[in-house]
Amino acid sequence: VEASIPEPQREAWTRNKFQGFQNKDEFEKEVVRHVETTLARSMFNCDETAAYSATSLALRDRLILEWNKTQQRQTYRDSKRIYYLSLEFLMGRALDNAMLNIGAKSVAKDGLNELGFRIEDIIGQEHDAALGNGGLGRLAACFLDSLASLNFPAWGYGLRYRYGIFKQEIIDGYQVEVPDYWLDFNPWEFPRHDVTVDIQFGGYVRKGQDENGKTIAHWEGGEIVQAVAYDVPTPGYDTPTTNNLRLWSSKAASGEFDFQKFNSGDYESSVADQQRAETISAVLYPNDNLDRGKELRLKQQYFWVAASLYDIVRRFKKSKRAWSEFPDQIAIQLNDTHPTLAVVELQRILVDIEGLDWDDAWKIVTTTFGYTNHTVLPEALEKWPVTLVQKLLPRHLQIIYDVNLFFLQSVEKKFPNDRDLLSRVSIIEESQPKMVRMAYLAIVGSHKVNGVAELHSDLLQTTLFKDFVTIFGADKFTNVTNGVTPRRWLHQANPRLSELIASKIGGHGFLKDLTALNKIEQFVDDKAFRKEWAEIKYANKVRLAKYIKSTLDLNVNPSALFDVQVKRIHEYKRQQLNIFGAIHRYLTLKAMSPEERKKQQPRVSIYGGKAAPGYWMAKQIIHLINSVGAVVNKDPDIGDLLKVIFLEDYNVSKAEMIIPASDISEHISTAGTEGSGTSNMKFVLNGGLIIGTCDGANIEITREIGQENIFLFGNLSEDVEDLRHAHTYGTHTIDPNLTKVFEAIQSGTFGEANDFNALISAVRDHGDYYLVSDDFQSYIDTQNMIDTEYRNQEEWVTKSIRSVARMGFFSSDRCINEYAEVIWNAEPLAV
Ligand code: GLG
C-alpha cells in the first residue's frame, strides 16, 4: 500500500503543520487541552498527577516533532549509525530532563504557575524509569544523552521490562522487595504495533542445499514469540537532535489467544501460552555484578538481540548497498557480554539467510562489533551451559562451535604445540557441564575490546584477557574511561550551582564542553563567589535533612559533615567497612568525657542502596546499618555527633537530591575490584570531596583534581593477591580496633548478639577476601583527617571549587567522542 500523500494534497499538510507550543500561552493551552481531552478531566478534578501527565504530553508533542525530523535527516544522509545494545537503561525521570534539554523549563515553570501548580511538585510526580541495576545501566543512559547532544546518529536497543528494578522497603531494619510496576501511565513511550519481529526458540537444524549445491542450514520447528517495538525519544541538550531508544516487548505470536484451543473450550491453556510469551520481557534480573545463569535470562538475551538485529539489517537493506559496506554503515556496541549472541546471530543471518560465504560474513561481523567489559569479578562473567544453548538455540550452538574451531586453528598456527593455551582461550570451557564463555566469544567476535577506567583496562590486559592480548596484539584492547552527563548530574540535579558557574564564566557553554569548568578556578579567592558556593551546598543539605525528617522522622543537623555512601550493596564495595568504621566512631565517642566530646566534629553517616534479593551477605549489611542507627540515633550521649541513616529505595531521582548534598562520599572498594564507578564523578562535580581507595576511576579523578583534593587510603591493587595469600596460608591477625568493633557487636550492643556473625566471620575466620581488616586503620585515620580538615571550612571550600573546576574530563561527551573515534569510526551529523 502506498501510504504517502500525493503531491497536490501536500500543501494542505504543510499549511497545517503542528509546531508544538512556542511560548507560555501556547504551553498553557496545550496543557489545558490535554487535561480536557487526552485525559478527559477538567479544572475541577485536575490533581498533580493529571497536571504531570498533561505537562508531559505537551512536552512530548514537541519532542516528537524533532524526533521525526531527526529520523528523516538520518535516513536521508545515510551516514554511519551507532547501535548501543544494552540490557539495562537506567533512565530515571524524563520530564525535567526533556524540559532542560529543549530549553523549555522556564516557559513550563511560569505556565504551570499560572495554572496553579509548582513545577517541582509536578516533576516529583513522575515514576522513575528504572530498567537497570546500577552503574552499567546508568552509564547507558548517560551515553544516550551524550550521543544525542553531540548529534550522533545513534539508537539504543533494550528490553521493555514490565517490572524494572524492585522497590526497596526497609521493615524492622531488613530489606523487603516490592515489585515496581511502572507502566500504568508512561507518556514517554510510543508503541509501534506495526514494528514486530517473530523470534524463534528451540527446534532443530536441517542441512539442505541451495540452487548452487552449497550446503545451507535450515533452523526449523520450536516456538515463536513476537517482539513488539516501543520507542522512547531521547532529546539532546541544546540541539534539535532527538534520538531513539527502542525497547522490545514480548507477546504471543499467534495474537491474543490460540483460537483453536479457545474454541475447543481450552480457554485456560490458550491464555497460559500468551502469558508464557509475555514472561520473556516481564522482569529485569535484579543482580548487579553477578551471573546466575537462568534459562529465562538467556531467552531474554536472544529475544532482544534477534529483534534488534532484524531491525538493523532491515534498515541496512533498504539502502541497497553491498554487504561488504555493512561495517562502514553500522557500528554495534555490546554493553557487557549480555548481547554477545548478536555476534552469532549476525553471522547466522549473513550465512544462512543471505547466503554469504563464512569468511566474508565473519569479516563483516568482527568489523561491526565492539565489546565493553565492565568488571573483572569472576562471579560476574557470563557462561552458559552448552546443553542449554543447544536446547534453545541449536543453530547458534553450531555456529559457536565453528567460530571456536576456526579461532583455535588460527591460534594453533601462530603458537604451535601449546595445548595449554588452546584450552585456556577456548570459547568452550571443557568443564562438567561444558560451558560457553561469553566474554571470549565477545572478544573473538569484535574488533575492539575496552575496559571502563585505566586501572580496569590494564587489569583486563594483564590478567583476565592476557592470552588474547598475546593472540590478537595489544591494539585490539583499549580503554575508555567512563563519564557522566553534566546535563542531568549538574544542571538538573544542582540548578543553583549550575547557575552560579554560568554567571561567572559567561553562560552555560560548560554543559556542552565540560572542560570550560576550569575557568571557575580563577574565582577561587572571590569572596562573594565562595560564599554563594558554600551557601548552595548548605541549602542542598537542608533539603536532604528535610527529606530525612519526612521519611524517617529523624532530625539531622545540616551543619554536620554529611558522609554519603550510595550505590548497590556489595561486599566488594565494602559498605561493611563503612559501618564498622561508624561503630568505631561511636565507641570512641562513648569513651570520651563530655568535654572531650564537645570538641568533636558532628557527622551524619548516610547509606543507601539495594541488595540483590538472593544476596544474603548484602542484606546482612543493610540490617547491620539499620541496627546501628537504631541505637546510635537515640543515644543521648551522642546527640548530633553521629547519626546513622539508611535511605530507603535509592534510585536515580533520589541520587539527584542526595549527591548535591554531600560533603564527603565513600568510594572504598577493595583495590582492583571496581571497574570504574561513576557516582564518584557525580559527587565531585557537585562540590563534594571523596574518600576512596586507589581503584577504578578514583585514580584518574586524583590525577585530574590533584591528590591534595582527595582522601585516598588503603592497600594498592598490586598487593591484594599477596595479602589474600597471606590470610589463607600465614597467620591472619585482625586489626585491634576492628576487633573491638566485633566485640561490641557480639556483646549485643546493636540488638541480637549473634545476628551479624556472618559479617564478622567473613573477616575474622574466612580469609577476609575483601581486605576489610587490612585497610581498617588506614580508613579510620583518613576519616579522622577529614574531621580535622572539615573544621577548616575556608580550606574545604577551596578544595571543593578547585575539584569542580578540574572535572572536565569526566563528561560522558568526552567518553562518546573517544568511542566514536577509536572504536566506531563514526561522525556526528551536522544539523
Ligand atoms: C559496572 C561496574 C562499575 C562501572 C559500571 C559502568 O561495576 O564499576 O562504573 O559498570 O561501567 N556493573 C556495573 O555497574
Q: What is the pLDDT of residues 356-366, one digit of tens each?
A: 999 999 999 99
Q: Where are the beta strands (DSSP E) in 93-166?
A: 129-131, 154-159
Question: Can you give the length of the chain in residues?
Answer: 831
Report the candidate in 332, 329, 399, 342 with the shortest Cα–Cα distance to residue 369.
332
CA dihedral for 601, 736, 377, 434, sign (positive or negative): negative
Q: Is the pLDDT of residue 271 over 90?
A: no
The reply to whether ligand 1 has any atom less than 6 angstroms from the CB of 381 is no
Please list the alpha-helical segments (H only) found in 473-574. 486, 495-505, 527-552
The reply to whether ligand 1 has any atom less than 6 angstroms from the CB of 451 is no
Q: Provide the pLDDT for residue 255.
A: 55
CA dihedral for 634, 637, 639, 645, sign (positive or negative): negative
315-339 per-position pLDDT tens digit? 999 999 999 999 999 999 999 999 9
Instruction: Give 3-state DSSP helix, strand, coil % of the chain, rounded to 5.
Output: 55, 15, 30
Sheet of 711-712, strand order: 642-647, 603-608, 561-566, 664-667, 689-692, 711-712
User: What is the Cα 35 distance to its own chain's centre?
Assistant: 34
Q: Is the pLDDT of residue 256 over 60?
A: no
The reply to whether ligand 1 has any atom less than 6 angstroms from the CB of 134 is yes
Residue 212, SS3? coil
Q: Is the pLDDT of residue 259 over 70?
A: no
Q: Measure 480 CA to ligand 1 centroid, in angstroms.
A: 13
Q: Measure 658 CA to ligand 1 centroid, in angstroms.
A: 20
Q: Provide the pLDDT for residue 58.
A: 98
> What b/e sequence results for 755-783 when a residue is b if at least 16 CB atoms lie within 10 Å of its CB, and e otherwise?
bbeebbebbbeebbbbbbbbbbeebbebb
Examine the residue annotation and report whether 567 is marked as an active-site residue of this protein: yes
Examine the residue annotation and report whether 568 is marked as an active-site residue of this protein: yes
Q: Is the pLDDT of residue 725 over 50?
A: yes
Q: Measure 135 CA to ligand 1 centroid, in angstroms.
A: 5
The reply to whether ligand 1 has any atom less than 6 angstroms from the CB of 313 is no
Q: Is the pLDDT of residue 726 over 90?
A: yes
Across the range 378-394, mean pLDDT stands at 98
Examine the residue annotation and report whether 196 is marked as an active-site residue of this protein: no
Q: Provide the pLDDT for residue 154.
A: 98
The reply to whether ligand 1 has any atom less than 6 angstroms from the CB of 672 is no
Residue 321, SS3? coil
- Strands 129-131 vs 603-608: parallel, antiparallel or unpaired: unpaired
Banded pLDDT at 634 (limits 50, 70, 90): very high
Read off the amino acid at residue 577: L
Q: Measure 223 CA to ligand 1 centroid, in angstroms.
A: 35
Prediction ipTM score: 0.99
Cα separation, 109 vs 537, whole angstroms: 24
Q: Measure 696 CA to ligand 1 centroid, in angstroms.
A: 9
Ligand 1 atom nearest to 677, measured from its CA: 9
The reply to whether ligand 1 has any atom less than 6 angstroms from the CB of 138 is no
Selecting among 105, 160, 374, 456, the annotated active-site residue is: 374
CB–CB of 583/628 below 8 Å? yes
Q: Provide the pLDDT for residue 270.
A: 77
The reply to whether ligand 1 has any atom less than 6 angstroms from the CB of 530 is no
Q: Provide the pLDDT for residue 762.
A: 98
Selecting among 670, 678, 749, 782, the annotated active-site residue is: 678
CA dihedral for 678, 679, 682, 688, sign (positive or negative): negative
The reply to whether ligand 1 has any atom less than 6 angstroms from the CB of 453 is no
Banded pLDDT at 269 (limits 50, 70, 90): confident
Q: Measure 191 CA to ligand 1 centroid, in angstroms.
A: 30
Evaluate the omega torsion of the peptide bond into residue 286 and state whether it is cis, within 30 degrees of 0: no
User: What is the Cα 637 distance to its own chain's centre?
Assistant: 42
Examine the residue annotation and report whether 682 is marked as an active-site residue of this protein: yes
CB–CB of 811/514 below 8 Å? yes
Question: Average pLDDT of the chain?
Answer: 97
Q: Provide the pLDDT for residue 44.
A: 97
Q: Provide the pLDDT for residue 609.
A: 99
CB–CB of 511/486 below 8 Å? yes
Q: Provide the pLDDT for residue 70.
A: 97
Q: Measure 560 CA to ligand 1 centroid, in angstroms.
A: 31
Q: Provide the pLDDT for residue 1.
A: 44
Contacts of 676 (CB under 8 A, 6+ apart): 135, 374, 452, 453, 456, 481, 482, 696, 697
Contacts of 799 (CB under 8 A, 6+ apart): 689, 708, 709
Lowest mean pLDDT among 134-138, 179-183, 788-792: 179-183
Residue 5, Cβ neighbours under 10 Å: how many?
11
Alpha carbon separation from 159 to 231, 285, 442, 603 (Å, rounded): 11, 12, 20, 42
Across the range 602-622, mean pLDDT stands at 98
The reply to whether ligand 1 has any atom less than 6 angstroms from the CB of 660 is no
Ligand 1 atom nearest to 678, measured from its CA: 9
Q: Provide the pLDDT for residue 436.
A: 98
- Position of cell 501556547? 26
Q: Provide the pLDDT for residue 262.
A: 66
Cα separation, 456 vs 769, whole angstroms: 19
Selecting among 568, 623, 654, 667, the annotated active-site residue is: 568
Q: Is the pLDDT of residue 476 over 90?
A: yes
Specify the DSSP element, H or E, that contains 698: helix 698-705
Ligand 1 atom nearest to 134, measured from its CA: 14
Cell representation of residue 396: 547458534
Please give the share of the chain, as a percent, with pLDDT higher than 90: 96
pTM as predicted: 0.98
Selecting among 682, 727, 799, 806, the annotated active-site residue is: 682
CB–CB of 218/208 below 8 Å? yes
- Helices and strands counted in the chain (H then E): 34, 24
The reply to whether ligand 1 has any atom less than 6 angstroms from the CB of 482 is yes
Q: Is the pLDDT of residue 601 over 70?
A: yes
**Ligand 1 pocket mutation pick from 143, 338, 452 by most atoms within 8 angstroms of CB:** 452
